Amino acid sequence: MHELSVCQALLRQVTDIAMDRGADVVEHITIEAGPLSGVEPALLVRAFGILRASSRATAQALLSIESPAVIIRCTSCGMESPTAPNRLVCSRCGDFRTRVVAGDELRLRRVELRIPESSNRKTPCAKPVVAA
C-alpha cells in the first residue's frame, strides 16, 4: 500500500502551496493518476481520508482523482490508440515500439484554497504554478 507514501507527498505539496498563498483552508484537490502510474485511486482515497487530518488546512479537503485512459503512439506507423495497460503494442501494425502518450501520469493538477481577507499573499492572483 504505497498509496500512503504517495498521499503524504501529495499533502506536503498541497500544504506548501497553501502556505505560499497565505491560504488557511484547502477545499478541493484534483490529481491525475493514470492506470500506468502504479497508484490505485480507491486506495489513495482511503489513505487521503486518514491523512488529511494531519494538518488543519487540509482536514476538510476533498480529493478528486482523474484517471486518464492509456493512449499509445506507435513510433513505427504513427497510429495513436487507446489501449489496456498491459497491451502496449500497436493495434495497427503490431510493432512493440510505442510511446505512452497518456495514462502514466501521477500529478497534482489543481488546488482550491480559501484565503482569509487579512492574508498577505505573495501573489496577487491565482497564477498557474509551473512544475520546477
Burial class for 25, CB neighbours closer than 10 Å (0-12, 13-18, 19+): middle
Near another protein by CB under 8 A: residue from 41, 50, 112, 118: 112
Q: How far apart are CA 60 and CA 25, in angstroms?
A: 8
CB 37 to another protein: min, Å = 7
Q: Which span (23-31, 49-57, 60-68) binds another protein, by CB under 8 A?
A: 23-31
Q: Is residue 111 a contact point for another protein (CB under 8 A)?
A: yes
Return the C-alpha cell found at 60: 476538510
Report if residue 68 touches another protein, rule: CB under 8 A. Answer: no
Total residues at the site for another protein (CB under 8 A)? 45
User: In one letter, which amino acid is 81?
Assistant: S
Residue written as grid cell 510493432: 95
Distance between CA atoms of 82 and 74, rounded to whole angstroms?
11
Per CB under 8 A, does 47 bind another protein? no
In whole angstroms, how close is the CB of 74 to another protein at the nearest point? 9
Residue pair 34/44 in contact (Cβ under 8 Å)? The answer is: no
Residues at the contact surface with another protein, assessed by CB under 8 A: 1-2, 5-6, 9-10, 12-13, 17, 21, 23, 27, 31, 36-39, 72, 85-89, 96-98, 100, 106-115, 117, 125-126, 128-132
